[in-house]
Structure 1
Amino acid sequence: MQLNINVTEFILLGLTQDPSRKNIVFAIFLFFYMGTLLGNFLIIVTIKTSPALGSPMYFFLFYLSLSDTCFSTTVAPRTIVDSLLKEASISFNECIIQVFTFHLFGSLEIFILILMAVDRYVAICKPLHYMTIMNRQVCGMLVATVCVGSCIHSSVQIILALSLPFCGPNEIDHYFCDLQPLLKLACSDTYVINLLLVSNSGTLCTVSFLMLMVSYIIILYSLRNHSAEGRRKALFTCVSHIIVVILFFVPCIFIYTRPATTFPMDKMISVFYTICTPFLNPLIYTLRNAEVKNAMRKLWSKKISDDI
């Protein structure tokens, strides 16, 4: 591994250098981040305290909300603070840590979405064996496995980042550290590293997206044999999952499956999947899920009665 590092810190150019627009960035990021924390916290607490939400689907939803919160936290707090500064800097070590945590929780979200699709497939296509196949022990082992897979994926990102020599300039044309903007600052040919990046992150996003779309097509096709009520309930659940998958994967595929070229809209697309999607996920799952809404009402009623 080559370690030729003369740069000790990077300057994050952010979304804008205009002071008035920085205030807008501050307000938008603060709003979405606070909404993400509140929405996902409500889902986490509701699932943990409600016996009615003990099925594997809500077990995975709990970890999706947890990964959403952590994923957004890797980017949003620093961006909020940086928008108040005239010049935002980040040390080399902090930058590497951000790359690691960003890909750790991003890939964890991908894997959990796959687990949720598997859970829906078993529930709809193998209903008689559902509780046997998707028991709590199996679900726990699956979550542990995807956590290990996420660590492996993010470790590869770190290896790729540390193999790049940085000797100046040190201005990252982005609002957080990621391999694509870092490739532009490297003092060597990055063709091979970019191929490895596309084959790692790009393949992960694309293959996972295709797997999820195929699985949901199979699930929706199998619903033709169900009763009208069963079809309606399963359709509501699957549509929610499909919306989440599209919102998260389409921007990621656009960013990570192309050569190391940048477009003006790259940063705005990154804003969408780093800030907006974690904010929208709780809304999608709660507004379209009667069981979660009912559990939240009971939790709120219980809190009010306890206070009285």
Structure 2
Amino acid sequence: MPQVRPQTGNPTWLPEALRAEGLDVTEFPGWRQRGHGTFKDIRGVMVHHTGSDRASAASIAEGRPDLAGPLSQVHIARDGTVTVVAAGVAWHAGVGMYPWVPANMGNWHLIGIECANSGTSPSAPHRRNWPDAQYFALVRCCAAINRRLGHNAARTIGHKEYAGRAQGKWDPGGIDMDLLRRDIAEQRSADIGAVPTPRPPVPVGEYADILLYRGSRGTQVAELQRRLKAAYAAYAGDLVVDGVFGVETERAVREFQRRFGGLKVDGIVGPATAAAMRLKLV
């Protein structure tokens, strides 16, 4: 990997970078001033699960009785909502080591992402109990930060990779870090400097025959509605799964296309939109 001069100072650019990756971002009150001091330099990203599916952004910002907040810089809810909670150093890494991180100094060199997730168990298969909305928000957050820092996906690590031996940590549970880095690399490969927003690669062989639009009916439309309703509840949570591509389904598709970026906003599900949505074929 080419040598990149580390960025110094606190990442006040986080909301800007995350939004440029097509994410909807909430800024927790006071985030710019929140932290335990200033980063020495920023070398990468560390991924965590909170241990609870219900852990809120406020709990990460404010901490707990035995550990003062902030506990990371970014929080991702199960519905994919991304909240920037702090710009300064957060207590998320603790004791540990990794080849390109000074021993026991992860807090001062790594941006932390806490995902509201139980982790299931140390041996859980990849993405067990990780909703699509949350998982792909995580992928895009990591890609956005790597992109801003000028790094590739290798600069995203799990807490378990840094602190597993020293602290017995196993987060993020239910995440194979190699597979996560693969997905980040795929997202990271889009050159957003060349186009307004990143476009996903289209697996033509899989989605070439997909064409759903207002008036379409059947099981594939129902699967589209389930996908939108489950993964994009913020704007499609009330969608009725009836197998009929009506006005509300079209509206949800348009909103997905608008938010994802790099897609034509026409309310039609063709190969590119189906690929971006990772629509299950039935």
- Fold match (TM-score > 0.5): no
Of structures 1 and 2, the one with the larger relative CO (CA 8 A, separation 6+) is 1
TM-score bucket of the superposed structures, by smaller chain: under 0.3
TM-score by length of 1: 0.25
Return the index of the structure with the highest Cα Rg.
1
TM-score by length of 2: 0.27
> Per residue, is there more helix in 1 or in 2?
1
> Per residue, is there more strand in 1 or in 2?
2
